[in-house]
Each structure stands twice: as structure tokens, then as C-alpha cells.
Amino acid sequence: MMVDLYKQHLEEKMLRFQAILKATGFDELVIGSGEIKMQFQDDMAYGFKANPYFREWVPLATRAGCYLQIAAGATAPRLFLLNVEDIWHTAPETLPEDFERGLEVIEYESLDELKKYLGKRPGGTAFINETNELEAISETWNPQSVLHQIDFQRPAKTVFEQAAVREANRRAVPAHRAAEKAFMAGASEVQIAAAYLAACDCRESEMPYGIIAGVNEHAAVLHHHNLFKQPQTPRSFLIDAGVEVYGYASDITRTYAYDSGSDFAAMIELMDTKQLELCAAGGIGKSPVDLHVLSQHKIAEVLIDFGILKISAEEAVATEITSSFYPHGLGHHLGCNVHDKGGQLANAQGDLIPPPAKYPKLRSGAPMVANQIHTVEPGLYFIPAYLQKLKAGEHSAAINWSKAEAFVPFGGIRIEDNIIVHSDGTLENLTRDAFASVA
């Protein structure tokens, strides 16, 4: 099935990129996967991951030296694979079986040989890559006019892309279950991450992003990657981790309480309800900014229910008190980039929809459209530095400090699902469906 969907994916991408060539005036687009980068004064390489402009076409996330050629009028892209003898390293990643059906695959041994195929068209070549090793065939390196066009089309996912993210959610669920079990058994953060990797049968280098596994207070560190090796007396646990399938990511967060009868466990349960309400609030034409404002109100409601806030939700949002407990955005686009491109573009020419002054770090401003994949990840954290500023500020009296500070040892809560906005107006929650199917 995925073989057929991938062929359809290439056909749809070719139609989109033929329009991009026409709009930008180029006759050829060449996209590199990227080059290996060596460590300074050493013969060891840094971990390699192909750039997302390449990965949205070809599921070769770890193979350097590849080039994709999209020519005006062509019906299929050409994929150039570097093929040189190498006895020192494991053979490079290969295409999944039968995925070459929609591609013209050509092997090459040197850049000089590669250049015989490229840069021969009168309308010029646009070259997209981190480095410009093909300068001889194109003086146009990473042109913004082309990048804007690509970024604008990318959020609308093909059926293949949707299926890949759906499968990435399914494969992540057993790993999340294994991490929860390890936490409940008193494992260290490093041991929890190892249990996650073992359960999804992946190397750490294959993760779409570094595993966030925060026990107790570390759950309040939004990107807690420096995992502790020492076990701690367990109170709470937040894990943010996904899996990558054909170059496409899942991005899932869950939070657990060690004591199921604690106030923190009850807070997680209420946050879960609010998160589902926010998932249901999305849809075609909905504004991500409006949804983020709604999420701020939902967090304020939780704080009120637990006696932490003494004022109304409306007042807490207006005075930005809730931002001290919830300092990030509601979500982002998801695809071959974990934080996929295009969320702030108003059009294919690169005009931006700037985030509101009140929430300057929001990743998305453009209204939702059909076939997009979004994360929905409200959070509620008890971050000591933020609480200290709030306590010293003009709104200190709005907080019941004994209740707020009682939650500091638990860190915080984030719950994150991946949803598809379908063309018929329905919303598919990939993450909840995956957890339900595994259960």
C-alpha cells in the first residue's frame, strides 16, 4: 500500500513543483540531501540527517551526497545516488523496496560526472542545499523565491505523508508505554529513554528529535535533553518523544503521576480533558492564534479549579499571568520537519503573517487548511524562575502561593497529540487513535 501511496505522492509533488518552476522562471530545480560534516581535527563525522527539502521527496534521511532533479516538463524526478567503494563504513541507506518505481535513479561516482546531467537548461537551475558544491552549474543557491513557494505548499500533506505520520504515531505508542512502565519502576531518566528506544526498536540517531524525559522537577524544563543517570524518588514524569517513518515524524507528549490518588494526578486528568477540547476546536479556516488564546483560557480554568488563581480566567489571560505557567505556543505544523515550515506564510511569495505582539513566539498564524497536520500541546508548568518573577510583580496577590508552590516538586504537565485537518472538515486524532489501537 505504501508503495502505491508513495508513487502518488511523487506525482502530486511533481505537479506542485512544475507550478513552482513556472512561477519562479527556472527550468530546473536541484535539491541536495546534504554533505557529511567532520568533527574538528578528527576523522569522525557528526551525525547526518538529510535536509527537509530533500526528505519531503525521498525517504533517505541518513544518506549524504544525494541529489534530486526536477526539470520543467518532466513527468518524474531524477534521483542521483553517490556510489563509491568504502570498506570503512556500513553501506549507505537504500530506498525501501519498490519505492524507486516513481523515480529515475542514476548512480554517480564524482561531482564531475554528476555535473554532466545538471545545469544544461536555458531557464537556469535553482540549487537547494546547505552547501553550494554545485556552484559550477548554478549561481542561484537557495533562492528565496523558490524556498517561499516550497514552504507554502508543504503544509498540505499528501495521502502518503499522512499515512507516514499515522504510522509514526502507531509505532511510538508501545515506546511511550515502555517509558511509563520504566518510570513507575523507579528507573533513571537515561534508563527510561533506553526503554523507549528498545520498545520502538530504534537507534537514538533515528529519533526525529532528542527524547525529552523529565522526572519530577525536570518536567518543568521544556526541552530537558540532559537526562540524569541517577534514579530519583518518583513523583511525576513527562515524556516528549516520537518516531520517524519514511522521514516523517510523530511528536507525542504524555505526563504521569506516580501516586494516582494525588492532586497532581487529578490535575493531569483535567488537563487531558482541556487538551481534547482544544483538539476539537481546530478545523479548516480556524486561526492558530485564536486557538492559542483559547488554550490560555483553558489553562487559567485549570489553575482556578485547583485554587491557584484567585481571579477570573479572562483577567488572568488579559494580564498575561497564565503565560508564567504556560510560556509556549499551542502547537505547530508537523511533517518531515518536526516543526514544519509554512505556518507563518500568507502566500507563496513570502509575505508573512506576523505573530501578535502578546505572543511573539507563535509558530503558526495562517488559517488552517485541508490536509494539514498539527500538534496540539497545551502545557501547565511550575517553573521556579517564572514563579519568583510573578511573586515579586504587581499581580502577586492573584495567586494562592501555598497551593502553587506545592506543585513545584512535580514540575509540570504537557499533553500533545497529532491531528489531521481533513478536506471534509473532520479532524483525525492520530495519537489518540494509536493509543486506543495498542490498548
pLDDT digits (tens, 9 = 90+) for 273-290: 999 999 999 999 999 999
pTM above 0.85, yes or no: yes
CATH architecture of 159-438: Alpha-Beta Complex (3.90)
3-state SS assignment for residue 432: helix
Q: Which three cell numbers, joined as nine digits, stand for 202?
A: 530504534
The mean pLDDT value for 71-85 works out to: 93
Res. 438: pLDDT tops 90:
no
pLDDT score, position 158: 98
pLDDT at 439: 67
pLDDT in tens, 371-380: 999 999 999 9
Q: Would you state the cell numbers that stand for residue 204, as one nine-digit string? A: 537514538
Q: pLDDT class for 104, splitting at 50, 70, 90?
A: very high
Only one residue has cell 567532520, namely 38
Q: For the chain, which residues make up each domain, given as ranges?
A: 2-153, 159-438
Could you tell me which residues come within 8 angstroms of residue 190 by beta carbon, excluding any fewer than 6 positions away?
A: 227, 228, 229
Q: Which fold has domain 2-153?
A: Creatine Amidinohydrolase; Chain A, domain 1 (3.40.350)
Q: Which residues of 391-416 are buried (b: 16+ CB within 10 A; e: fewer)?
A: eeeeeeebbeeeebeebbebbbbbbb
Name 29's bridge partners. Answer: 70, 126
What are the backbone angles phi and psi of residue 315, rounded to the nearest 5°? -70, -40
Tens of pLDDT, residues 158-202: 999 999 999 999 999 999 999 999 999 999 999 999 999 999 999
pLDDT at 134: 83
